[in-house]
Amino acid sequence: MLCLPGNPLLAQQRIASLNLCTDLLLLELVEPERIVSLSYWAADPDLSYLAERASGLTLNHSLVEEIVPQQPDLVLAGQYSDVQVVALLRRLGYPVAVMDVPLTLAGMRAHILEFGELVGEPERALALADQIDAGLAAAAPTLDSASRPLAAVYGPQGVSPGRDTLMNDLLYLAGYRNLAAELGVSSYGTLSLETLVRAEPDVLVLDNLANSGDSIAHRAMRHPVLRRQFAEAQLLHLPASLSVCVGPTVVTAVQRLVAGRPQVAVLEGAVGE
Amino acid sequence: MSRSWWLPLALLLLLVAVSLLALAHGTVWLNPFAAATEAWQATVLWEIRLPRVLLAILVGAVLGLSGAALQGLLRNPLADPAIVGVSACAAFGAVVVLYSGLASLAWFALPLGGMLGAALSVLLVYLLAGSRSSLFSLILAGMAVNAFVGALISLVLNVASNPFAMSEIVYWLLGSFANRSLDDVAAAAPFMLAGSAVVLTAGRYLNALSLGEETAASLGFNSQRWRWLVVSGVACAVGAAVSVSGNIGFVGLVVPHLLRPLVGHEPRKLLWASALGGAVLLVLADMLVQGISGRVELKLGVITALIGGPFFLYLIVKTRSTDW
């Protein structure tokens, strides 16, 4: 099945997407002429590594009114897309594929291949999946579990990804332990400033959303405790656009995390106490 | 008169006790008097918990004091900075300053925004309800101001180009002390203290006013001047308080009512007692939100509204039977 050339009918579809992760795979696999609408997140450089390419295309805000005039042959949605929007589009006769976008690395390869079939570009999808797998294999260090530094991911509002998240997989692959996961957080939870200070992590992973802008969440990120407790060397800035969706960016994310790992000597000091 | 000093003293001791308890209480119990055995303990105690406790004390005192002052000034038992719309307008001022980026221009920009908003609300309420308002015209004016300003806050947060702005509506409408630093205390405390000091000077005027406006005038008080003093003190203190804590309701309503019988219905003594009582209430409420939090910490206004809402209804029923 996977070795068959793309179905020529599928390869002519004009496609709209309502979800950032399906936006990004669509941009990776399909010629821009066939993309009739992307979610507005796709053009946000804070979240989308393809923002420049997306900003030239028609964007939607998950409103049926924005999709219908484009007359797409296929609409892609994620499992968390608004069910009302999906239901209305279907009632109006538009085929909607609700993709189960993987939240971890586990389903990534199968997802990309299935996506490729759906949009009529199975060969490109296979190439992309192979490229990502090879990239991850090359980027991930081989190490024993004793020398894994403890990383805490701390986002605005104290949000931290725990078990069963993409970020957790990336951290583990890059040779870290993840504080939130060790504290029993599954999916996304919050860490209080107190918990963070008590755990004394070796590395604090911050995303770029934490640095720009003014809000209560941003003011909390500038709390003097964070500045004092964590030396510049312990801070690892990882753009959110690298870890928000499964796709080629996971390789870059792992590379950045590996590059930011503290030296072994530092770690042995920490382990020995 | 032994009665004049025992209540403030008792409240002060209670405040010290609950504040120490709040310092000790958190994700783990810490003894504020013991030397830190590990580096993180000092950080947690003095840089994470202390700012919270200080803000709870200051904001609680401001809200309790302002409630007592407004009730005395308007001679209206249902007056409270949140109910008459001062807190919501202060939140609006702070929201505009914060999400437009103006807050980073100067350390005092955020409290200033809150104070300007609060000042605006006082003018609005005066215009809508008049200076000698009936119970219900004041409440109605406050309701209208609250609804309108609540919508303005949502509007500003919606157009703000910040991914977190929309979710922070909850913070501005219900208030929280989470993740505050000593920088926040330093920025807002001078204005809260200055505003409160001004309000506290009005004690004797409020005493005279409780006997009627003519009596106050005959005792040599210039009503116009004192009104403006109290109102600007409240606007300054509440504006600064809301800019660092969000809008925490009902403190200014509940605390003066609980303490009024204990001070012999004397407005001047009620000011001091309500400041201390408000501080105690908010320190306790802030401990409670940390104790019963789920994945995301509960907002303070939820606790104060759970206490204050039924109390407000009780007051309405009670006042209905006396002076409709």
The answer to whether residues B84 and B71 touch, using CB atoms and an 8 Å cutoff, is no
Q: How many CB atoms lie within 10 A of CB B231?
A: 25
Q: What is the pLDDT along chain A (273 residues), one digit of tens a residue?
A: 444 455 777 888 999 999 999 999 999 999 999 999 999 999 999 899 999 999 999 999 999 999 999 999 999 999 999 899 999 999 999 999 999 999 999 999 999 999 999 999 999 999 999 999 999 999 988 776 568 999 999 988 788 999 999 999 999 999 999 999 999 998 988 888 889 999 989 999 988 776 667 788 888 888 888 888 888 778 898 999 999 999 999 999 999 999 988 865 444 444 433
A225 Cβ contact list (under 8 Å, min separation 6): A193, A197, B43, B47, B48, B181
Give me the pLDDT at residue B75, please.
84
Mean pLDDT of B286-300: 82
Q: How far does the CA of residue A119 sit from the closest CA of chain B (Å)?
A: 31
Cross-chain CB nearest to A189 (options B40, B49, B295) = B295
The lowest-confidence range among A9-23, B44-58, B118-132, B144-158 is B118-132
- Is pLDDT larger for residue A267 or for residue B178? B178
Give me the pLDDT at residue B169, please.
87
Give me the pLDDT at residue B40, please.
86
Q: Report the share of chain B in percent with pLDDT over 70.
A: 95
Model confidence at B1, in pLDDT bands (50, 70, 90)? Answer: very low
Q: Do the chains contact at B98 and A156, CB–CB below 8 Å?
A: no
Please give the mean pLDDT across all residues of chain B: 89
Chain B CB contacts of A214 below 8 Å: 98-101, 103-104, 162
Q: How far does the CA of residue A212 sit from the closest CA of chain B (Å)?
A: 9
* CA distance linking residue B148 with residue B154, whole number of Å: 10
Give me the pLDDT at residue B317, please.
85
Q: How far does the CA of residue B100 sit from the closest CA of chain A (Å)?
A: 8
Cross-chain CB nearest to B48 (options A157, A197, A215) = A197
Nearest CA in chain B to A187: B295
* CA distance linking residue A42 with residue A148, whole number of Å: 34
Nearest CA in chain B to A197: B40
Q: What is the pLDDT of residues B139-168, one digit of tens each?
A: 888 888 899 999 999 999 988 877 778 888
The chain A residues in contact with chain B (CB within 8 A) are: 46, 156-158, 189-190, 192-195, 197-198, 200, 209, 213-220, 223-225, 228-229
Model confidence at B324, in pLDDT bands (50, 70, 90)? Answer: very low
The lowest-confidence range among B26-30, B95-99, B121-125, B284-288 is B121-125
Q: Do the chains contact at A190 and B178, CB–CB below 8 Å?
A: no
Give me the pLDDT at residue B15, please.
97
3-state SS, chain A, equals: CCCCCCCCCHHHCCEEECCHHHHHHHHHHCCHHHEEEEEHHHHCCCCCCCHHHHHCCCEECCCHHHHHHHCCCEEEEECCCCHHHHHHHHHCCCCEEEECCCCCCCCHHHHHHHHHHHHCCHHHHHHHHHHHHHHHHHHCCCCCHHHCCEEEECCHHHEEECECCHHHHHHHHCCCEEHHHHCCCECEEECCHHHHHHHCCCEEEECHHHCCCCCHHHHHHCCHHHHHHCCHHHEEECCHHHCCCCCCHHHHHHHHHHHCCCCHHHHHHHHHC
- Is pLDDT larger for residue B125 or for residue B83? B83
- Is pLDDT larger for residue B203 or for residue B295? B203
Give me the pLDDT at residue B316, please.
80
**Encoded tokens for B278:** 């408000």
Query: What's the angle, vertex CA B300, arms to CA B296 and CA B303, rounded to 5?
Result: 105
Q: Do the chains contact at A224 and B167, CB–CB below 8 Å?
A: no
Mean pLDDT of B28-40: 84
